[in-house]
Amino acid sequence: MRIVITTPSGKLGQFVVEQLLKEKVEVAMISRHPEKVKNFVQAGAQLIEGSINNPDVLNQAFKGADTLYWVTPIDLTYNGHTNYNDWMLQTATMGAQLAKENGIQRVVLISVSAPVVEQELRGMFKVLHMIEGIFKEAVYNVTVLRPSQLMEGFLGHIKTIAEFGTINRPQNKQVGMVAARDVQEKAFQALLDLSWKGFCVFDVVGPQDFNITEATQVISQGIGRPIEHVVLTVAQNRECMAKAGIPVPIVECLADLHANVHDSREPWVQPRSIEGTCKTSLLEFSRQVLKPAVEQYLAKLKSASTPLTFSQGATAAATAKVIFGNHSSVIVPKQDRESIRKFYCDILGGKITKEENERDFLRLGENFYIGFLYGDVPDASEFLRTARSVWLEIKSDNVEEMSRKIVESGLVRKLDVPDPHLYFQAPGGQCLRLVGIDEDLSFYEGAFDGPNVAKVKEGAKAGFSVTLPDSAQSTAKVASFKQ
């Protein structure tokens, strides 16, 4: 038996190839990315390099084949096509005709689930169901698998889950979300099962139906982190995909897909069958796939960041039920925007996570966020240097080097506070204290006498212009000013 696979490196193809090779089946793979399937080639699969819309590639792969596993890839980064639906339809029409001419006897086709009343189909949904008919006309034995919404779609939200605790997408009807691994298991079984004949259709669903809000609650439980569903309109979702760099034709295609589910007047749940119901629950998928992905993202974020974090000692001061959080915001003059960005990003190593016309969201370290709102407000920097100032504490693994960078930047005002640490006023007026990551700061928690209170008061009255006394230049990690 020779089986042709059209997407061997995709989320609906990898497991199928692995299992067929284990069964010693002759596998021919069509792929534009040889590096992604080199392990399969080493294991004995044949690689036909190229695209499935190339007739020469298809003829080479189909020659001598008995069975075809056809999955249309969602990828419009090649050949200059501007309408993905047209490309799918044209490619499938050619593929079905060449399958017939090469004597392929059986086809397992991946399509998509549909509402109970299929007359509502449009866009990508309509095209995929048209493709079912195209293969039905060309090859007698065709099994169509119609998976519901893939659980792997939530992998596209790892960034917002990890950084903001949100899943941002439109609401939809309840659907039986299914894991791609389970869909591949059904495909693998159909490819090796020679008992079925004719045209067969199976809706492939998970064990339980959810809308996105309900799914978010399950995912939150599975990964052990609070997550909220931020409901987007279809238009807002289209805008987000475009900003993420997804090609415009794919954006329109996926937006239309979301609109199908969102706007359908009919239930989006087909009657379940034993053959089409899969075992992996969303809770299990969240624990086994999403949770490790979130943890990996956070670890990468941490390793990629400069070793600068806001002190937990300074922000975790709590009463019985209240603690300071890791989000802050401040309104600053518009003219300070450039210097704020330069200081917090270039000097402190922060990252702008989102920028708008009148607002920047900025992350420092792993998980401290500041929102800068730019407006026509007076420069309040002098006021912020008075006795009412609240110091934000930042930490560095190299205090000496960071102090030099901060002072030499020319962007800050160094404040002569009677304390051994560097105090300064950043662009925008925020007052910060720089300490070491591993420094013993217990005297700020009341363990020792701490800085001389009288001198601190004196400094506050003078705008903190008091020069540090010689005794403050001690190299010890913990220094206290005695009266």
- DSSP string of 325-394? -SEEEEEEEGGGHHHHHIIIIIIT--EEEEEETTEEEEEETTTEEEEEEEES----HHHHTSTT--PEEE
Q: Among 128-137, 237-246, 319-328, 437-446, which range has the highest average pLDDT?
A: 128-137
> What's the token pair of residue 311?
């002190």
Q: Give pLDDT tens digits for 33-46.
A: 899 999 999 999 99
Strand bridging mode 166-169 / 228-231 = parallel
Q: Kindly list the domain boundaries of the chain, sorted by start residue.
A: 2-299, 308-473
Higher pLDDT pick, 269 / 223: 223
Mean pLDDT of 376-405: 71
| 3 state SS of 308 | strand
* pLDDT the model gives residue 14: 94
Bridge partners (DSSP) listed for residue 368: 364
Q: What is the pLDDT of residues 221-250, one digit of tens each?
A: 999 999 999 888 877 877 777 776 666 766
Identify the weakest region by mean pLDDT among 36-50, 54-68, 165-179: 165-179
CATH architecture of 308-473: Roll (3.10)
Higher-pLDDT residue of 255 and 264 is 255
- Helical H runs in 209-247? 212-223, 234-243
* pTM confidence score: 0.61
Residue 281: the pLDDT is: 96
- The SS3 of residue 174 is coil
| C-alpha 388: how far from chain center | 41
The CA distance from 409 to 8, in Å, is: 52
CATH no., domain 2-299: 3.40.50.720
pLDDT of 319 above 80: no
Among 206-210, 369-373, 475-479, which stretch is predicted with the lowest mean pLDDT? 475-479
End-to-end CA distance of the chain: 91
User: How far apart, in whole angstroms, are the C-alpha atoms of residue 423 and residue 444?
Assistant: 15
Question: Among 173-182, 303-312, 434-443, 463-472, which is the least confidently predicted range?
Answer: 463-472
Q: For 351-382, how does the pLDDT look when each residue is reduced to its tens digit (9 = 90+)? A: 888 888 888 888 887 778 888 888 876 665 55
pLDDT digits (tens, 9 = 90+) for 413-446: 888 777 788 888 888 778 888 888 877 776 666 5
Least confident of 81-90, 258-267, 293-302, 339-348: 258-267
Residue 465 pLDDT greater than 90, yes or no: no
- According to DSSP, residue 9 is labeled T
Query: How distant, in Å, are the alpha carbons of 128, 129, 136, 144 from that of 147?
Result: 12, 12, 18, 10
Grouping H, G, I as helix, E, B as strand and the rest as coil, residue 65 is: coil
Residue linked to tokens 């009412």? 388
Query: Closest Cα partner for 340 from 326, 322, 321, 359?
Result: 359
What would the two tokens of residue 242 be? 């475009």
- Give me the pLDDT at residue 318, please: 38
Which residues sit opposite 348 in a β-bridge?
Answer: none
Q: Give the model's pLDDT for residue 236.
A: 80
**Could you give the CA distance from residue 28 to residue 32 in angstroms, rounded to a whole number?**
13
CB 365 within 8 A of CB 305: yes
Choose between 129 and 467: higher pLDDT.
129
